[in-house]
Structure 1
Amino acid sequence: MILTSHADLAMENGQTGVWLSTFADAYYAFIQAGFEVTVASPRGGQSPIDPLSEENAHITEGIKTYREDFMAKMDFGNTWSLEEVGSLAYDAIYIADGHGGLWDMAANAKLGQLLYSGLLNNTPVAMVGHGVAALFSLAKLRPAVLQGMHVTAFTDTEEALLKRHAYLPFSLKDRLKELGAQFTHAIIPFTPHVETDGIFITGQNPASAVMTAQALVERMEVEQLYCG
């Protein structure tokens, strides 16, 4: 699991970070499936949490469980750096949501190398919301990777409804389309939507995190059954 390390929005007193439910909900889906989870981030150590994601309106069962789970808090608070895990092999990769990903995942050489290795080894990669920005790091190594790919991510409408659109470095949708992706989204903002194309599973927003994690678990179970 990869989390953003970036906390600052381009606005006075603006703070972002990991959208907590997209970590917690997926984390428990993976633990319940019997997976061993490694949590990493660009810088390592404690990842910031977007304060908005801890407001009552956004609390999920995963967050409630996380708040009472010492080991999960240890994983979140002591992430490995991408430098430390970049040379290791993993059976799957999951990238959580968080506006910070627009800054530290969109042009991260180590992350690009990790995803490129996944592409070469047919390793499934799941991304949620702003975590989809990681594809831009991969595109620096494989420019045509997004051509024709069916993908979803946080939309401009959702950014506007959160009133953060004016402070972001770029539009996810626009950049994905510029690189040739076939961008899709739910008709109603903030409702679940997931796309699968090859090894890539993308979820539109935090509401899509459970579906995205489940799709990754199902993909892994099928591969384990086939390999067995």
Structure 2
Amino acid sequence: MKKLLMILTSHADLADEKEQTGVWLSTFTDAYYAFIKAGFEVTVASPLGGRPPIDSLSEQNDHLTDEVKTYRDDFMAQMEMGNTWRLEEVRSTVFDAVYIADGHGALWDLADNPQLGKLLYECLLNETPVAMVGHGVAAVFSLAQLRPTVLNELRITGFTSTEEALLKRHPYVPFSLTDRLKTSGAQFSHAIIPFTPHVETDGIFITGQNPASAGMAAQALVERIGMGQLQCG
């Protein structure tokens, strides 16, 4: 059975410490059920382990997907998310692919994470596919600390500055993901209409722009795994 690692943020506080964030729930559920349906063994991890925070905005009716509704009645899935492994605990495990969910917290604890950087570096060396969605794309900055040229001309997408402003979170984040990707040398692209699906694939990386892109990115990862990629861990 193929093994897949899902990584979620553990960070809850936005910059003003009054607003709360966390995992954008649908980017966990939409991908999780795609992987389970495909028959993969899924391990869920986060920097701190245990139950990660969930962005309350992602639980509002406007942002619910069918998979989120399924998750609410799925005890096993809730157990998986509520008892995540610490990243350092899964470093010795072999995985066939990695998926990193969305959530503003990723700008804090996944963008400068030595454990994550090492894991992604091993994926790069072994050509193991990695999918990242929304703010989870910030994980590439952890890899860039070990491979500074990794972003040069890399075709990539992620949560845009326009989407950040429309969500009214732009005053509370530590940096603009769009701007940092561009200044790091990446070829950044996005959907014309904000909050609509957009996915880019380049090398081992599959990136989704926003929560609406999670299912598409997950399916692309499932198809890539089926091609018999090597492993990281």
- Corresponding residue of 2:159: 154
Letter in 1 for 2:148: P
Work out the CA distance in 2 between the residues paired with 1:63 and 1:13.
Answer: 26
- Corresponding residue of 1:51: 56
Q: How does 1:1-228 map to 2 (within 5 A)?
A: 1-223=6-228
TM-score (norm 1): 0.97
Work out the CA distance in 2 between the residues paired with 1:185 and 1:172.
Answer: 12
Work out the CA distance in 2 between the residues paired with 1:200 and 1:48.
Answer: 26
TM-score (norm 2): 0.95
What secondary structure does 2:132 align onto? strand
Unaligned runs of 5+ in 2: 1-5
Cα deviation 1:116-156 (Å, max 9, x = unaligned): 00001110000000000000000000000000100000000
Unaligned runs of 5+ in 1: none
What secondary structure does 1:223 align onto? coil
Q: How many residues align?
A: 224
- TM-superposed CA distance for 1:88, in Å, is 1.7
The structure carrying a bigger helix percent of its residues is: 1
- TM-superposed CA distance for 1:204, in Å, is 0.1
The structure carrying a bigger strand percent of its residues is: 2
- TM-superposed CA distance for 1:11, in Å, is 2.0
Please tell me the root mean square deviation across aligned C-alpha atoms, in Å: 0.8
- TM-superposed CA distance for 1:87, in Å, is 2.2
**CA 41–12 in structure 1, closer or farther in 2 if over 3 Å, else same:** closer
Structure with the bigger RCO (C-alpha within 8 Å, sep 6+) is 2
Identical pairs, percent = 75
